[in-house]
């Protein structure tokens, strides 16, 4: 697409946008009496307007029914997690039985490691990104230590080649086959939080399996951002949070996917709790854990209904918009952002804003990461003063996410003017 760097062009794209009405479904923070230009949905998504109603409904159920709300509410709390399975399954490309919303992301990473990181003396290594999100690094290290291995031996970190910012596919696949004899698990992000690189998940999974290892992904920056086919790609497991692209409230309930070949197998090892117990007989309260088939068999505790209500409200918007439609708009929005940044550099006569996110749209989602030639942190602070919310990641990266549910082409154009 040949873009133009002017307001009427951006407004024309907005008029033609079939998803433009969704912007009205969100609450924007204000700056000098106007909506901020919010480009931070990769960190915390905006509040959908319908969240308040969903929360009030559940408060009402609580006051009306007390404990009986577990059975008497319009959507009984006893089964409330089921109300999100179909929507989540569409977003990650899975069967509803393979997904469930529960806990928090890092908690879930640990629970999934219990099931899928079962190191032996011979097979104990984990391949991950060298620049993985810190929580993932700490989780993997502590898992390795917990099993009596040393992180220096057991964790293989993939880092970009010197002078590069993203991982090359051939290097990822080569590392997997190089460590094939000792590899237990490949555990990577779907989209790297720092560079915005979207990894080739299907090929990584295939290579991991060919090496005799399992494969899981942290989809914190992928879920609700890029359509996935986790089941068809034969991914073993995945986890995500819901407060980034899924807009489901700060620290909101997270989610997991487990391929049915593991999830339907009662022998798959796991940490157990009563909410993962076979639903039909859960309240007989007998000794001896019998798992509910599917991802629900990994639940430990009863459902945090208020968090789940916010999640359900946000997922209504995904059901209505459709993840494939969102991706189509996202590709256009992000390419427009790339264009306005490149135009800015041209007008300055040098590459002040270096884009480190892949320029190939197939290898990225709704995020552009930039390294400033000079004064990165000051540039960022000035943007905030002028009503642009992005984020700053130490040591030197500015991240901006034009989110297709609520950002407009005009937002991106104005961003280019202000930067």
Ligand X SMILES: *Cc1c(COP(=O)(O)O)cnc(C)c1O
Considering beta carbons, is residue 124 or 243 the nearer one to ligand X?
243
CA atoms within 13 A on the CB side of 102: 28
- Contact between 137 and ligand X by CB under 6 A: the answer reads no
Exactly one of 106, 205, 367, 408 binds ligand X (CB under 6 A); that residue is 106
Q: Which of 83, 17, 91, 22 minimizes the C-alpha distance to 322? A: 91
Window of 114-122, 132-140, 195-203, 298-306 that interacts with ligand X by CB under 6 A: 132-140
Exposure letters 281-304 (e unless 16+ CB within 10 A, then b): ebeeeeeeeebbebbbbbbeeebb
Window of 29-37, 213-221, 316-324, 337-345 that interacts with ligand X by CB under 6 A: 213-221
Q: Is the dihedral of CA 340, 341, 342, 343 positive or negative?
A: positive
Q: Which x/- pattern over 6-45 shows residues binding ligand X (rule: CB under 6 A)?
A: ----------------------------------------
Which helix (H) or strand (E) segment holds residue 378: the answer is helix 376-385
Gap between the Cα atoms of 311 and 377, Å rounded: 33
- Contact between 135 and ligand X by CB under 6 A: the answer reads yes
Considering beta carbons, is residue 193 or 318 the nearer one to ligand X?
193
CB of 305 to ligand X, least distance (A): 19
CB of 72 to ligand X, least distance (A): 32
Asked if 77 and 305 count as a contact pair (C-beta separation under 8 A), the reply is yes
Considering beta carbons, is residue 42 or 61 the nearer one to ligand X?
42
Q: ∠ CA(219), CA(112), CA(403), 5° rounding?
A: 15
- Contact between 103 and ligand X by CB under 6 A: the answer reads no
- Contact between 218 and ligand X by CB under 6 A: the answer reads yes
Exactly one of 129, 136, 292, 411 binds ligand X (CB under 6 A); that residue is 136
Considering beta carbons, is residue 33 or 134 the nearer one to ligand X?
134
Q: Which of 14, 15, 43, 41 minimizes the C-alpha distance to 28? A: 41
- Residue partners of 217: CB distance under 8 A and separation at least 6: 187, 188, 189, 190, 201, 230, 235, 238, 239
Exactly one of 100, 241, 258, 309 binds ligand X (CB under 6 A); that residue is 241
**Is it true that the peptide bond before 216 is cis, omega within 30 degrees of 0?**
no
Considering beta carbons, is residue 257 or 413 the nearer one to ligand X?
257
CB of 197 to ligand X, least distance (A): 13
- Contact between 221 and ligand X by CB under 6 A: the answer reads yes
Considering beta carbons, is residue 136 or 296 the nearer one to ligand X?
136
Considering beta carbons, is residue 19 or 403 the nearer one to ligand X?
403
CB of 69 to ligand X, least distance (A): 27
Interhelix angle for 409-418 vs 323-348, to 10°? 20
Mind giving me the DSSP string for 300-315?
-S---HHHHHHHHHHH
Q: Which of residues 172-201 bind ligand X (CB under 6 A)?
A: 189, 193
Gap between the Cα atoms of 414 and 270, Å rounded: 50
Considering beta carbons, is residue 243 or 275 the nearer one to ligand X?
243
Gap between the Cα atoms of 367 and 399, Å rounded: 7
Exactly one of 26, 133, 336, 406 binds ligand X (CB under 6 A); that residue is 133
- Contact between 249 and ligand X by CB under 6 A: the answer reads no
Residues at the contact surface with ligand X, assessed by CB under 6 A = 104-106, 133, 135-136, 189, 193, 218, 220-221, 241
């Amino acid at each position: 697409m040949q873009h133009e760097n002017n307001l009427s062009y951006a407004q024309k794209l907005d008029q033609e946008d079939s998803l433009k009405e969704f912007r009205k479904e969100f609450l924007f923070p204000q700056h000098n009496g106007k909506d901020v230009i919010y480009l931070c949905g990769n960190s915390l998504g905006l509040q959908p307007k319908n969240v308040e109603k969903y929360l009030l409904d559940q408060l009402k159920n609580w006051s009306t029914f007390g404990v009986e709300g577990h059975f008497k509410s319009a959507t009984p709390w006893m089964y409330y997690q089921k109300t999100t399975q179909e929507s989540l399954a569409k977003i990650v490309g899975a069967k509803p039985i393979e997904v469930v919303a529960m806990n928090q992301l890092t908690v879930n990473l640990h629970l999934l490691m219990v099931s899928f990181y079962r190191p032996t003396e011979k097979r104990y290594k984990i391949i991950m990104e060298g620049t993985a999100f810190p929580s993932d690094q700490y989780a993997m290290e502590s898992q390795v230590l917990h099993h009596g291995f040393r992180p220096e031996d057991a964790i293989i970190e993939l880092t970009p080649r010197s002078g590069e910012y993203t991982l090359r596919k051939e290097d990822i696949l080569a590392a997997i086959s190089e460590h094939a004899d000792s590899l237990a698990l490949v555990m990577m992000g779907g989209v790297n939080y720092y560079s915005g690189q979207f990894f080739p998940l299907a090929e990584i999974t295939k290579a991991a399996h060919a090496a005799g290892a399992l494969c899981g992904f942290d989809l914190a920056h992928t879920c609700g951002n890029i359509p996935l086919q986790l089941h068809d790609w034969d991914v073993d497991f995945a986890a995500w949070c819901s407060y980034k692209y899924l807009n489901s409230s700060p620290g909101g309930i997270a989610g997991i996917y487990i391929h049915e070949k593991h999830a339907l197998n009662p022998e798959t090892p796991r940490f157990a709790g009563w909410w993962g117990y076979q639903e039909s007989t859960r309240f007989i309260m007998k000794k001896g854990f019998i798992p509910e088939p599917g991802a629900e068999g990994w639940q430990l505790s009863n459902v945090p209904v208020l968090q789940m209500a916010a999640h359900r409200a946000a997922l209504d918007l995904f059901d209505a918009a459709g993840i494939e439609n969102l991706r189509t708009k996202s590709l256009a929005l992000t390419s427009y952002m790339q264009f306005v940044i490149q135009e800015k550099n041209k007008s300055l006569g040098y590459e002040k804003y270096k884009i480190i996110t892949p320029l190939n749209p197939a290898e990225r989602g709704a995020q552009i990461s930039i390294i400033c030639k000079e004064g990165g942190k000051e540039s960022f602070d000035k943007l905030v003063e002028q009503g642009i919310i992005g984020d700053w990641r130490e040591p030197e990266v500015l991240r901006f996410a034009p989110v297709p549910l609520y950002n407009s082409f005009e937002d991106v154009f104005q961003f280019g003017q202000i930067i």
